Amino acid sequence: MTGKHAGAGRPTAAEPLGPTGPDDPGPDPRALDDVRPEVPLRDMAPLRRVQTVARWGLRQIGTRRGRRVVLRRVAFGMARSLTSVVAVDVAGEKYLVSTHDRAIGAITFSEGGLDLDLMTAALELVEARTGRALRGRTFVDIGANIGTATVPALVRFGAAGGVAIEPASNNLKLLRCNLIANELADRVVVVEAALSDSLGTAFLELGESNWGDHRVRASTSSGPARYGEDGRAVDEVRLVTFDSLVEDGTVDVTSIGVVWVDTQGHEAQVLAGAEALLASDVPVVIEYWPYGLRRADGLEQLHALIASRYRTVVDLRASAAKGRPVEFPASEIERLAPIYVGTSYTDLLLVS
C-alpha cells in the first residue's frame, strides 16, 4: 500500500508484531499519545527535501543492500527511455512494472517488493487477534494495482484464492500479466471496476507518474486540491459495491481471510457499500489518509463507520516504527486525523 504516496516515509518493523502475552491489557486510548509519523517529502520545504534525500542516499550506500537499491533505482530511471516495462523477480515472485510509474513500479523494481514487512506483521496480528489465518482462505484486494499484495498473499502467505479489484486500465494490464507470470490466473478473480457505495460510473483521476495514486473523483470535496488533482486527466470507470459482488457470487464472505483496502481516499465509500463485510467478523486492513479522505468528502463518514462497526484498531505503520502493536479502541478513531497531517498516512487493522 505504501508506494502510492511517493516520498512518504516507509518504516519497517524492528521485530515481529505477533501475539502479546497473557497479561495484554488490550486496546488503550493512550496508545496514540506518542504517535509521530514521518513528514512526507512533498510536504517538506525544498532545502529540507534535498537534505532528507541526501541523508537517505548516504545511508543506502553504507550497506551492500543499500548500494544495490540505489543502483537499481538509477537503472530503472535510465530504462524509461528504452522500454515502457521491465521485469523483476522478488524471492520467486515475478512482476512486470511500468518504467513510467515512479512509485510502486520504482519501489518494486529497486527495493524488491512493496511493504512485505508490514504485510507480514499485519497478517500475524490478524491471526493473533482473531484466530483467523489467511492460509487456505480468500484474499480480497480492493485497489489491487499491479498485484503487489495479491501475489504474495497467495504465493508467500498461502491464501487459497483471491479477488483483485482495480479500475485503472494501465494497472489492470500489468495485474493480469503478473497473475499469469506467477501461475495465479486461475486462482484470482479480477474485477475491472472501482468499489464504492453505489453502482454506476465515475471519473478516475489519473496519477501520471504515480500509478498508485489514481483516485475516484468525488462530486463534492471537503478539502482543497493541494497537488493539482483538479487538472489531472481522467478516465470513466465502472462502479460496483462490495455487496453487489457478494450478491452475484464473486465474493463469498465466509471464505475470506482478510480484506485489503487501498483506494486513495475512497475508503469510506467502499465500507458504506459493504454491509455484508461490516456485519461479518472478517478483519480489514485499510489505508487511512486524511488528506485523500477529505478530498473525497469521506473522513467523517469513515470515522463513523469504524467507530460504530469495529471494536479495535491497530495503527500498523506506527506499530512498525515502534516494534510493538499500537492498538486503541475504535471509538477513538477521530484522534488519528490531527496526527496524520499534510499528506502523511498510515494503514489500519480493523477488528470486530
Signed CA dihedral, 123, 105, 91, 172: sign only: positive
- Please identify, among 84, 114, 144, the residue that sits at the C-terminal boundary of a domain: 114
C-alpha span between 259 and 162 (Å, rounded):
10
Is there a single domain that holds both residue 45 and residue 182?
no
Instruction: Find the CATH number of the domain harbouring 334.
Output: 3.40.50.150
Is there a single domain that holds both residue 289 and residue 224?
yes
Mean pLDDT by 10 residues, the chain (352 residues): 47 41 56 69 75 76 84 92 94 94 92 87 93 96 97 97 97 98 98 98 92 87 74 94 98 98 97 98 97 94 98 94 92 95 92 94
Is there a single domain that holds both residue 92 and residue 121?
no
Is there a single domain that holds both residue 274 and residue 156?
yes
C-alpha span between 203 and 123 (Å, rounded):
33
| Count of beta carbons in the 10 Å neighbourhood of residue 81 | 7
Would you state the pLDDT for residue 35? 72
C-alpha span between 189 and 170 (Å, rounded):
18
C-alpha span between 300 and 294 (Å, rounded):
8
- Residue 9 counted as domain residue: no
CB 264 within 8 Å of CB 215: yes
Q: Please count the structural domains in the chain.
A: 2
- Please identify, among 87, 114, 141, the residue that sits at the C-terminal boundary of a domain: 114
Range of the domain at 97: 33-114
- Residue 279 counted as domain residue: yes
- Residue 19 counted as domain residue: no
C-alpha span between 50 and 57 (Å, rounded):
11
Signed CA dihedral, 131, 133, 136, 137: sign only: positive
CB 295 within 8 Å of CB 229: yes
Would you state the pLDDT for residue 53? 75
Cβ-based neighbours of 78, under 8 Å, separated by 6 or more: none
Say what the pTM is: 0.89
From 286, 290, 295, 297, select the one nearest 342 (Cα to Cα). 290
Is there a single domain that holds both residue 137 and residue 46?
no
C-alpha span between 300 and 48 (Å, rounded):
32
| Count of beta carbons in the 10 Å neighbourhood of residue 80 | 15
Is there a single domain that holds both residue 148 and residue 54?
no
- Residue 24 counted as domain residue: no
Is there a single domain that holds both residue 295 and residue 307?
yes
Would you state the pLDDT for residue 87? 96
- Residue 331 counted as domain residue: yes
Is there a single domain that holds both residue 204 and residue 340?
yes
C-alpha span between 53 and 313 (Å, rounded):
32
- Residue 246 counted as domain residue: yes
Signed CA dihedral, 156, 14, 267, 243: sign only: positive
- Please identify, among 114, 143, 174, the residue that sits at the C-terminal boundary of a domain: 114
Is there a single domain that holds both residue 152 and residue 72?
no
Is there a single domain that holds both residue 172 and residue 282?
yes
Is there a single domain that holds both residue 97 and residue 119?
no
Is there a single domain that holds both residue 186 and residue 40?
no
- Residue 10 counted as domain residue: no
C-alpha span between 237 and 229 (Å, rounded):
17
The interaxial angle of helices 104-111 and 64-79, nearest 10 deg, is 140
Q: Which three cell numbers stand for residue 283?
A: 478483519
- Residue 352 counted as domain residue: yes
Please state whether beta strands 161-165 and 93-98 pair in parallel, antiparallel, or not at all (unpaired).
Answer: unpaired
